Amino acid sequence: MKLDIILAGVGGQGILTVAAIIGEACMNEGLLIKQAEVHGMSQRGGDVQSNLRISDSHIYSDLIPKGAADVIISLEPMEALRYLPWLNPETGWIITSSARFVNIPTYPAEDALEAAYKNQPRVVSLDVEKLAKDNGIPRSANMILLGAAQEALGIEYSKLEDAVRRLFARKGEAIVEANLKALAIGRDEAKK
């Protein structure tokens, strides 16, 4: 088993929490993990990216080579496109939020983003921000995106649920339940 994941977004969106949950789920299965993180500005709005490499055998590098990523998970649509050179062009998946975070003056127009995604073979794009707000869990958009990525990741859904329970347990049962609800919403939306 080998799984190379690029997680991308902007500061404050919770992309590193997604990485922690995926890592927790896989470590509890006895898999090996290497992770490399690149943080942008220390405040909200800066680029945040993480390479997450998972395998049942030795992993020699924590960085994913160009053309080798199995999945890009992005909480911001332009950030996913930034890492396209690293995606496997034949089998790679993009799981992204469609909600734009326009934080630079040269941000591409919405139709330009949509055109770029149409050229990719496997894309799941959801407005996770809207789904989170509409379902009364506005701080759980990242978990909705993780739920949408479950099939592309090939990680058993119950393993992700267990990891969410463990990671959020110290925050109380209400937070755990909100994040489990978000995970289920994402899974269900991706299947539509």
pLDDT score at 106:
84
The type of residue at 125 is S
pLDDT score at 44:
58
pLDDT score at 117:
87
Beta-sheet pairing, 32-39 with 2-10: unpaired
CB 182 within 8 A of CB 143: yes
pLDDT score at 42:
46
The token pair that represents 182 in the structure block: 């978000």
pLDDT score at 6:
96
Q: Give me the residues of the chain with pLDDT under 50, please.
A: 42
